[in-house]
Structure 1
Amino acid sequence: MIYCFDTFYGEGYAKTAVVGIEKWDSSEPDFELSDTIQEVNEYESGAFYKRELPCLLSIIDKLPPINPDKDILVIDGYVVLSDDKKLGLGGYLFNELKDKTPVIGVAKNNFFTLNKLKKEVFRGESKKPLYVTAMGIDLQDASSLIFNMHGKFRIPTILKYVDTLGRSIY
């Protein structure tokens, strides 16, 4: 299963949504779940993972057991933050999952300390790329998978869907 995650923050809470798809080019989810946490860490510049990682781990605990040989996790954000492999949210998640389950990060904004370990992915007719990073899977393969996801716009259909699911009132 390909699990795609996104977290939305409200006043005093965080809602994390996950959508599962069996195939990269799926236009509809095969599985969806959301989870709301009432106590959320404050945002800390340079340490975003401290805020969002507990949200991801909470919802992962509610999923069927992750199979590192078959499942892939896609997050909204970066897996690494620099070419010397400073961990981003996805890297910390990869470590929490015992460095076995592949994690792909898809970010909408560029992170300028990172050049070699990210790929720009231009989808549809967009002149603005998505920025892909990964651990546990080859970066070129991860970029190709994101490029080939369903949808003719910059943001793949399923990633847009999980974002909308996360933003819906809980």
Structure 2
Amino acid sequence: MKLAIAVHFDGAQAHAAAVAFEAWDSAEATKTYLSRIAHVEKAERGSLDLRELPCVMQLLREHRLEPELILIDGFVHLDADETPGLGQHLFHALGGVVPVVGVSKSGLPGLSSQFEVTREEETKPLLVTCAGIDIGAAKARLRAMHGRKRIPTLMKLVARLAKNGD
């Protein structure tokens, strides 16, 4: 099973959501998961915001999830030199055995066009970074995901679940 994961913060609380899927072109999740996190520390000013990491780890533990791959809304690394981002920290927290693919709608100065994926003509590209999987394979799989326009259907669903908390 593959998981798309999103975290939504609401003040000092958060909701972590995941949608499970088997095939990259799946239009629907095989199962959904939600965890409520009662208290999340504030982000430290001037440092990488890793508040999502304990939320994701709680979600995985709480639901006893052992995915073959995790897809996150965010960056695995922050530049071509692979400066660690949230996804890289997640990859290491999981023992370096579960590939993590990060997808972002906005760019970072250190990421070149080699990280871009255009899912539909005349839309802005998404940026893909990854750990534990080849970048070419990650881009091809993201391109194959179900959904019209820029954002895959399952990524929209997991974001909505996290935001609504139900």
1-side partners of 2:123 and 2:10: how far apart? 31
Query: Alpha-carbon deviations, 1:99-157, whole Å to 9, x = none?
Result: 111000001110112337x6111112342111000000000100110011001110000
Q: Distance in 1 between matches of 2:56 and 2:122?
A: 29
Given that residues 12 and 42 in structure 2 are in contact (C-alpha distance below 8 angstroms), is that contact kept between their aligned partners in structure 1? no
Residue 9 (structure 1) aligns with: 9
> Conserved in 2, the CA contact under 8 Å of 1:121 and 1:143?
yes
TM-score (norm 2): 0.93
SS of structure 2 residue aligned to 1:58: helix
Please say if 1:100 is aligned against 2:101.
no
Stretch of structure 1 that moved more, 82-91 or 14-23: 82-91
The aligned residue for residue 18 of structure 1 is 18
TM superposition shift of 1:10: 0.6
Indicate the residue corresponding to 2:42 in structure 1: 42
* Structure 1 residue 62 displacement after superposition: 2.3
Contact 2:12 2:41 in 1 (8 A): no
Find out whether 1:131 has 2:127 as its counterpart.
yes
Distance 2:122 2:41 in 1: 35
TM-score where L is the length of structure 1? 0.91
Cα deviations by residue, 1:31-59 (Å, 9 ceiling, x for unpaired): 1111111111212343112x110001000
In the TM superposition, residue 65 of structure 1 has moved relative to its aligned partner by 4.5
Judge conservation of contact 1:126–1:154 (CA < 8 Å) in 2: no
> Using a 3 Å threshold, how does the CA distance of structure 1 residues 169 and 74 change in structure 2: closer, same or farther?
closer
2:77 is matched by which residue type in structure 1? V
* CA offsets 1:83-105 (integer angstroms, 9 cap, x no match): 22210000000001111110000
When the two chains are superposed, the root-mean-square deviation of aligned CA atoms in Å is 1.5
For the pair 1:85 / 2:82, whether they are aligned, the reply is yes
User: What's 2:140 paired with?
Assistant: 144
1:113 alignment partner AA: G
| In 1, Cα distance between equivalents of 2:27 and 2:125 | 21
State the SS of the aligned residue for 1:61.
helix
- Summarize the Cα distance change of 1:169–1:134 in structure 2 as closer, same or farther, 3 Å threshold: closer
Show structure 2 runs of 5+ residues with no match: none
Identical-residue share of aligned pairs (%): 35
- Whether the aligned pair in 1 keeps the contact of 2:14 and 2:40 (CA below 8 Å) is yes
